[in-house]
Amino acid sequence: MTSQSELPLTILASTRFIPLITIERVEDAVPLAQALVDGGLPVIEVALRTPAAPQAIREILKAVPDAVPGAGNVLTPHDLALAAHAGARFAISPAATPALLEAASRASIPFIPGIATPTELMAVLSRGFHVVKFFPAMAFGGPEAVRALHAPFPHVRFLPTGGTGEAELDEWLSLPNVAAVGGSWLAPLEEVRAGNWDSIRARASKVSQRG
């Protein structure tokens, strides 16, 4: 096994849920991360979809020592470098390209590529990535698809994300090849905009107890 196949599992071992957060205002990053940590969800995927994202990762690292912030929506080698430079503890992509996989195999941080089909899975496996994001999970078959992938790929661990919600959590968690479930619903953007940290903390707490 390469280090890229082991490192993501070390991170994922501490959680079964990864909130994907979008930070529009840097000042939201710390209270949001604190609410998630207090609710029992320390591993946080900060989507590189806003200019504030890299600074948000830095602020979380400084002010919320129990948080494990990573970068999400990593699409290019440049994004990966940006994530590593900000101190992200891991990086996740909704997909994979040869250039991104090449950069990730040399990166200083663990990388989780995204796949949606068995053929895409084979491509990342051939580069040594055994922990993958399954995206968009619900549109591409939901828990049934991940269950079916277990027989041909028993050593692969999945992070289903995209359309996931509370309804099918038990089903995901019962699958032996699901490492953790990701999603933006754990910290909805409207609640972040409103600074509704209590609501986010309460949801995190309720969900984390299910894992």
Question: Rounded to 5 degrees, what are φ and ψ at 26?
Answer: -55, -35
CA distances from 181 to 54, 58, 86, 137, 154 (A): 23, 24, 24, 10, 18
CB nearer ligand 3PG, residue 20 or residue 33: 20
Q: What residue type is 34 in one-letter code?
A: Q
Burial group, residue 71, by CB count within 10 angstroms (0-12, 13-18, 19+): buried
Positions in 45-104 near ligand 3PG (CB under 6 A) = 72-73, 94
Which of 11, 12, 18, 20 binds ligand 3PG (CB under 6 A)? It is: 20
Query: Smaller CB distance to ligand 3PG: residue 5 or 161?
Result: 161
Pick the stretch among 8-16, 116-124, 139-147, 161-169 that binds ligand 3PG (CB under 6 A): 161-169
In the stretch 100-129, what mask flags binding to ligand 3PG with x, by CB under 6 A?
Answer: ------------------------------
CA 163 to chain centre: 14
> Which one is catalytic: 45, 62, 120, 171?
45
Strand partners, 10: none
Amino acid at 194: A
Work out whether 22 is an interface residue with ligand 3PG (CB under 6 A). Answer: no
From 2-10, 80-88, 160-168, 202-210, give the range in contact with ligand 3PG by CB under 6 A.
160-168
Is 133 tagged catalytic? yes
Q: With respect to ligand 3PG, which residue has the nearer C-beta, 63 or 75?
A: 75
> For 178, which DSSP code?
B
Q: Which of 129, 183, 201, 204 touches ligand 3PG (CB under 6 A)?
A: 183
* Structure letter (DSSP) for residue 89: S
Q: Given 102, 133, 144, 190, which residue is catalytic?
A: 133
Q: What CA–CA distance (Å, rounded) separates 85 from 55?
A: 10
24 is catalytic: no
Do 181 and 208 form a contact (C-beta atoms < 8 A)? no
Binding site for ligand 3PG (CB under 6 A): 20, 72-73, 94, 135, 161-164, 182-185
Active site residues: 45, 133
